[in-house]
Structure 1
């Protein structure tokens, strides 16, 4: 784990680059206590150790299916239900963290990849076993920024400095053609790209990461404009916050791999592009 020091930072984004419904703005200066955070997203290997020790069965395994990106499936894959608003997602029976693309797949060669097909509830169960917790949204964003103030990405304001890829996202025309110029069509290992200023890898792209907060677009409604310390979001809600984007993100429809970008999903959601990392308070 790496330590993120205490102090204030500009939380959110006022550039109006994202979907207004995501609630990136307004940016507010908030104070966050110091904490430790995993340098890498939880891997398949780490999640397998948790399952071996506890016998835990993930929600996707209990339900019997999960959503898989169609581009990762064989051309002759049987027709199954898709998502109306996102037809590139396909319902695959038997898909889970153990078999990310269904029964014909496994994780034997992907132990250092981020575990996916894990719900928010699955992530919480892992945290209990590991003696850690999920980051708040503010903690996650402060960690992602790596000590840089007001920059778009964990490494700076330019997406590809010196034409160098710094994260795993979609290149080309989504969802029909991915040039894979960053070296990956699907997920990448958790250490595939250089770390940010706090020593954290892949805080942009690759796999979404669950946060502890309930999602609300007007997160600062009725909140003072200064003196905000350790914000934790509303007490209840329908969707949990996800941050960081994934290998499917592309500026044409989902430029959410920026530091200030946000998304959310229901706590029982498990897909092939959602994972997590953990934090620990300095007092534990």
Structure 2
């Protein structure tokens, strides 16, 4: 499926978006990612992407789309949780855009709220994220291959005025929209630059402690060349940057 519309002048609802109590819209639903081996890292990337190493990732589920502003607004209305940074800026205000300006702590609070209300959710590990983003294209730089597709806004040159709607463009071969390209997506792990030198082979979850939390994917503020599936990023878990958002994961066999 390809969705071509991208018009930031058609802003939809803004900071006072109405909510539907008790309903959290999950555009695209969840996708089952089959268990398998992947080679994590890149010899062409940064030092923290090395060495290349083979890891096994168990079957899990990941959201087809990033969490939208509309979905996150239900959480805000239900809990009184603080609004994300720059919540009222028009370029970030479409209900079908990914929510941005959320910290790692905010993302975890959102997952906890879903989980205690009977909708188990978590952040993906770095290994899960890379498994999902790579799909069946082992060895390629991006989820779509090595050539930037025509649907990527502005030819992937960036920056844009804001993130594009979460279902814009063509899904990856695993059925995921916008992964690696639209926003930086928080991961569950702590980040350590040397972790790949000591990573376990089975379902790695990152170091046990750290200073910055891991994130993955490029973002609307950057050229698509930084969207390589192997590229790693990190940020203080309290920081709220407007190119950071959330993509949910969960164990198999849970309904949301």
Q: TM-score range by the shorter chain?
A: 0.7 to 0.9
2:100–2:242 CA contact under 8 A, matched in 1: yes
Gaps of 5+ in 1: 61-65, 67-94, 173-177, 179-183
Report SS of the residue matched to 1:212. Answer: strand
Q: Distance in 1 between matches of 2:223 and 2:168?
A: 19
| Aligned residues between the structures | 220
2:162–2:220 CA contact under 8 A, matched in 1: yes
Residue in structure 1 matching 2:46, options 9, 13, 19: 19
Q: Identify the residue that residue 175 of structure 1 maps to in structure 2.
A: none
Q: Please state how far the C-alpha of 1:283 moved relative to its aligned partner.
A: 4.8
Written as runs of structure 1 = structure 2, the 5 A alignment for 1:29-178 is 29-58=54-83, 66=85, 95=86, 98-99=87-88, 101=89, 105=90, 110-130=94-114, 131-160=120-149, 164-166=150-152, 171=157
Q: Distance in 1 between matches of 2:49 and 2:163?
A: 26
Query: Pairwise CA RMSD of aligned residues?
Result: 2.1
Alpha-carbon distance change, 19 to 167 in structure 1, aligned in 2, over 3 angstroms: farther
Q: Identify the residue that residue 75 of structure 1 maps to in structure 2.
A: none
Q: Distance in 2 between matches of 1:40 and 1:168?
A: 21
Q: 1:6 and 2:35 equivalent?
A: yes
Report SS of the residue matched to 1:118. Answer: coil
Residue in structure 2 matching 1:233, options 187, 197, 206: 206
**TM-score with structure 2 setting the length:** 0.79
2:61–2:251 CA contact under 8 A, matched in 1: yes
Quick check: which has more Rg, 1 or 2?
1
**TM-score with structure 1 setting the length:** 0.72
Q: Please state how far the C-alpha of 1:29 moved relative to its aligned partner.
A: 1.2
1:97-143 residue CA offsets vs partner (Å, 9 max, x unmatched): x32x3xxx4865x0000000100000001111222000000000110
Residue in structure 2 matching 1:243, options 213, 216, 219: 216
Q: Please state how far the C-alpha of 1:19 moved relative to its aligned partner.
A: 3.2
Q: Distance in 2 between matches of 1:230 and 1:169?
A: 35
Q: Distance in 1 between matches of 2:135 and 2:198?
A: 29
2:50–2:197 CA contact under 8 A, matched in 1: no
Q: Identify the residue that residue 80 of structure 1 maps to in structure 2.
A: none
Q: Distance in 2 between matches of 1:33 and 1:281?
A: 9
Q: Distance in 1 between matches of 2:92 and 2:40?
A: 36
Gaps of 5+ in 2: 1-29, 115-119
1:167–1:205 CA contact under 8 A, matched in 2: no
